A and B are shown apart, each in its own frame.
Chain A
Amino acid sequence: MNNEPHQSPRNILPDCIIPALALAFTVYYLTTITEVPWISQASAIVVSGLLLLSILAFVIRSIWRIRRHQETLQITAIFRDLSAYRAINLKRLALLLLTIAYVWLIDSFGFTLTTFVFVFSGIVLLSTLANWKNALIVSLSCSVIGYIVFIYFFKTRFPEGPIEHWLKGIL
């Protein structure tokens, strides 16, 4: 996205994502407060009004800058940027999917096992498979230290799975 300095007009399409998200959420939010007492609406209506004004100011400024050729709106430029940094963006996407999988699986497999697999896979993903020995040591240390400190000593409410249940039985 904004990874490199631009001499030519700056593509501001990525900059529109946050205002678009904010606008969509605000519209949704306002639809959920139509039937609540006005006192419950008041604060949100004031803030949503201010948010919409800020977005309007952003739009007006962008139009003004586009007309002066300082900024541009190009969807193709996004793909160009993404492909220019293809390797790191693929790694980032894979790490995100790995993170989602971590959250998905931790409830069934527990903290210790899931953290070991996640940290090991994450390190291998971000470096190379040749780094598997270091990845193994680090991920094993993380899950074992995490278990000893947080689950065994502090009795913290971490997600539990087969390893935690097994260790609970023998310790």
Chain B
Amino acid sequence: MGPDLSVFLGLIADTLGYWWVIIPATILGIVVGAIPGFSAANTIIILLPITLTMEPATGMIFMVSLYTSSRLGAGIPAILVNIPGTAGAAATPLDGYPMAVAGRGQQALAISFTSSVAAGLITTVAAIILIPWLSQVAFHLHSVEMIVVMLFGISLIATISAEDKIKGLIAGFFGLMIGYIGADVVYEAPRGSFGFLELYDKVPLIPALVGLFAISEAFVVIERSSILSKQGEIDQKQAGWGPTFEGIRETLVHWKEVIWTSLLGLVIGVIPGAGAAIASFVAYQQSRLMSKTPELYGTGHVPGLIAPESANNGVTSGTLIPLLIIGVPGGATAAIMAVVLEYHGVNFGPDLFDTQPMIAYGSFTAMLVTYVLLGLMILPLTRYFSHVMVVPTVYMAPILIAFTLVGSFVPRAYIFDMGVAIVFGIIGYIARRTGYHVAAILIGVILGPLLENYFLRALRISQGDLGVLFSSTIGNILWVLLLLSLVAPGMKRYFALSRVNRKKTGSD
């Protein structure tokens, strides 16, 4: 596998011929990505009657372009109004929103877009080159290894709760417990569902996200006339194109951060079921861990925005690999792509790259073209998108509530889910007011069910033997890395303090 350069360039040229599919899909993707509840997966399902009538290659390029651009679109509301468009962007507001409140929304958008586009281009090229090796990743990462990967993400709870660790842990564990609501994956035993049939299939994620971020935010911002701080309002009014160029420059300065977090996203994306949320949480946590200024994370720090945005765009190309190589979709959107391609009689497997290169490699070249197009289209819009923040809160709050609540209805079409969003909104409001991090609760709600699924599978396979958690070499290496990542910040602080004390003693 792996095309030579001339074939690859030929494929790019062929893909450019599909501009009439890519451009509308890209615009649509940005819009649906930016609205909570309207994921790429939902939109592709809605548009199935159109997609199924297209040629397989055309349909695939349409779906890939829509998927790619929706990932980028999800960062826009996360930065401007503290509402992630999808769970994959849940770590984006941690540093993006504080930048926006301080009047640096335009710059934050430019950073988000530049890092997303760069990450998308890097990982797509890497995916094309590394397909034979990356396709093996899923074979080596089983339930046990995935438990440790999940714990890497969950350890972010402690990281983002730097101000008050105890409150952070309470919020995170509370979120995990909420995530355990519903039937378990092995025995289908309903647990903690308050008797609601609608909760048997776990707590719906979009209503939880809408409630914790959007509804609670709307109830908070009505105290002020604008989301922006006083200085932020002044800066926003005076802003020209400078912040956009500054954002691009800042991203390029942090090029190493973009590369390694996007590759981390690519590897996590290859693992079926892992997805963009876990990738962005792990990337944020690891970025903070390796930073020389970890205390700046959560205050509007540039690497804290680059890490999750690069990682969740890295996931995009990764999810296609198991789909095309072994027919196992890496996520919900890839699963719908599989349905469409199977409808057209496409057989997945390594042969696909020889028999139908326009579908196999074409999926990746469509991603490349989409990312280039996104870069050209969306960066000039940063200046105008950021004006959303000057809309007075008297208008913003009711509109936010109405559209995000309806967004929480869309995935399952249950009015019940809108009620769930209100309940989470109240919890989120109380949490914000009393110093509990809503992101910590959300991490628990997202990762809790995933962690439990892998845990149950591991125990089921080992017939209840807990020793299975330490039974694989890769798993044990990951355990050691997890342990190191947990103790490293404390060790760093200890050694820094010791150095200061030694210097003091020396000078005395």
Contacts and interface: CB of A to CB of B under 8 A. Distances in A.
Most buried by B among A38, A96, A155: A96
Contacts of B246: none
A119 interface: yes
A25 to B, nearest CB: 6
B21 interface: no
Given A50-B173, A103-B418, A123-B395, A15 B434 contact: yes
Interface of B is mostly: helix
B174 A118 contact: no
A13 B103 CA distance: 34
Given A119-B399, A159-B415, A40 B167 contact: no
A40 B189 CA distance: 8
Contacts of A21: 174, 427, 430
Given A103-B415, A106-B415, A115 B406 contact: yes
B215 A99 contact: yes
A1 interface: yes
Contacts of A25: 174, 177-178, 192
A167 interface: no
Interface of A is mostly: helix
B409 A158 contact: yes
A130 interface: no
Contacts of A138: 395, 399
Given A28-B192, A95-B397, A1 B219 contact: no
A52 B403 CA distance: 37
Contact of A126 (B193, B394, B409, B464): B394
A138 B174 CA distance: 38
A39 interface: yes
A29 B192 contact: yes
B499 to A, nearest CB: 30
Contacts of A22: 170, 173-174, 177
A163 to B, nearest CB: 15
Interface size class for chain B? 35 or more
A18 B415 contact: no
Interface string A108-124: 00010001001101110
Given A33-B191, A156-B46, A106 B418 contact: yes
Nearest to A19: B170
B295 to A, nearest CB: 22
A14 B430 CA distance: 8
B177 A18 contact: no
A54 interface: yes
Contacts of A150: 406
Interface string A27-47: 011001100111110111001
28 contacts: A2-B435, A18-B170, A18-B171, A18-B430, A25-B177, A25-B192, A32-B192, A32-B193, A33-B191, A36-B191, A40-B184, A42-B455, A43-B452, A47-B177, A47-B180, A54-B173, A55-B170, A57-B166, A57-B169, A58-B167, A95-B219, A95-B397, A100-B422, A103-B422, A119-B402, A139-B398, A146-B403, A146-B406
